[in-house]
Amino acid sequence: MTTTRNRPRWARCATTLTGLLVVPALAAGCAQDPDDTGAGDDTSASGDTSAGDDTSAGDNGGPTADGGGGTAPLVDPACPEELTAQQLGAAVDYAPADVDGDGTEDTMSIGTVTGGAAGCSAALVVTTDDSTAVAALPGLEIVPPRAFVPGGAATIDGQAVIAAPRSFSPRGGGEVGLFTLQDGALVPLEDQSGKPWTIFATVDDGGGVPQGIGCADDGLTHTTTSQNGFDGPVHLTTTHYTLDGTTVVKDGQEHQTVTEGGSALGSQGLSIFADC
């Protein structure tokens, strides 16, 4: 402190968002259990092409991103080989963070891919001292405002996790997913059903409820809020997860009632890794 796609989740959530708590710009919506979200697995960083250093195995005999047999491409096979952050269009850079665990800060960027195929219309690029790792974001046809995903990376139980948008609509909503480095490859974290773990978020303040992704007790948390009317108490639901490699495992949930929604999740509607 990664999708050609089905109909954007913001469209499915539009009715639900109407009349909910009005929050500042960047408010996030739908308060949906992340276990039921996720948009396919076509951004999974597995395949049979490779680029980068010798952690990539072009002979199909090296380690995969999840430690099995096969290849472990540093550049997502859907993207052009040797894609770098300098080649991204409309790029957004996150604050540097140590993603590969070598004690030095790495850079993280998202942006569109000029000339990229449908499977790599945009990409998340992590540049370390040793290599460049790329994950395709096919559901991200345009790069959202920088503030759509405040923050960028956090270390959760010793594992670096990166938050990045997986889809976005010019109407102001999309999905935020999590990624991590495994054997030099940048891969999405998945829920227990094998789908990328995501939350749906909005950047407009005309609907949507505040929510946040954070850290607690050596795990990952996702907090959502609800409110009865504009003056009623705010109810928080915090779901706790642990990381099992690249799998996000739900292991608990708690509920809390507060009087001020902003004091519980910060001043922004979408909070990413604020407590990590």
- Domain borders along the chain are 9-80+139-272
Average pLDDT of 142-161?
A: 86
| pLDDT band, very low/low/confident/very high, at 258 (cuts 50, 70, 90) | confident
| pLDDT band, very low/low/confident/very high, at 202 (cuts 50, 70, 90) | confident
Percentage of the chain exceeding pLDDT 70 = 66
| Whether pLDDT at 102 is above 80 | yes
Burial 13-24 (b: 16+ CB within 10 A, else e): bbebbeebbebe
**The pLDDT value given to residue 224:** 87
Structure tokens at 90: 């409309």
Distances (CA, A) of 161 to 13, 32, 97: 26, 21, 10
Residue at 171: amino acid letter: R
Distances (CA, A) of 45 to 2, 210, 215, 230, 268: 9, 31, 25, 44, 32
| Whether pLDDT at 164 is above 60 | yes
Structure tokens at 149: 């995903």
**The pLDDT value given to residue 70:** 39
- Among 40-44, 91-95, 266-270, the minimum mean pLDDT is found in 40-44
Q: What's the chain's average pLDDT?
A: 74
**The pLDDT value given to residue 229:** 67
| Whether pLDDT at 92 is above 70 | yes
**The pLDDT value given to residue 204:** 58
What does the DSSP 8-state code read for residue 85?
G
Average pLDDT of 255-259?
A: 84
Structure tokens at 240: 């706790």
Structure tokens at 11: 């469209």
| Whether pLDDT at 245 is above 60 | yes
| Whether pLDDT at 50 is above 60 | no
| Whether pLDDT at 19 is above 50 | no
| Whether pLDDT at 71 is above 70 | no
Average pLDDT of 168-193?
A: 91
| pLDDT band, very low/low/confident/very high, at 205 (cuts 50, 70, 90) | very low
Beta carbons of 198 and 176 less than 8 angstroms apart: yes
Compare 190 and 58 and report the one with higher pLDDT. Answer: 190
| Whether pLDDT at 143 is above 50 | yes
**The pLDDT value given to residue 62:** 35
CB atoms within 10 A of CB 54: 10
Average pLDDT of 195-202?
A: 91
pLDDT tens digits for 121-136?
Answer: 999 999 999 899 999 9
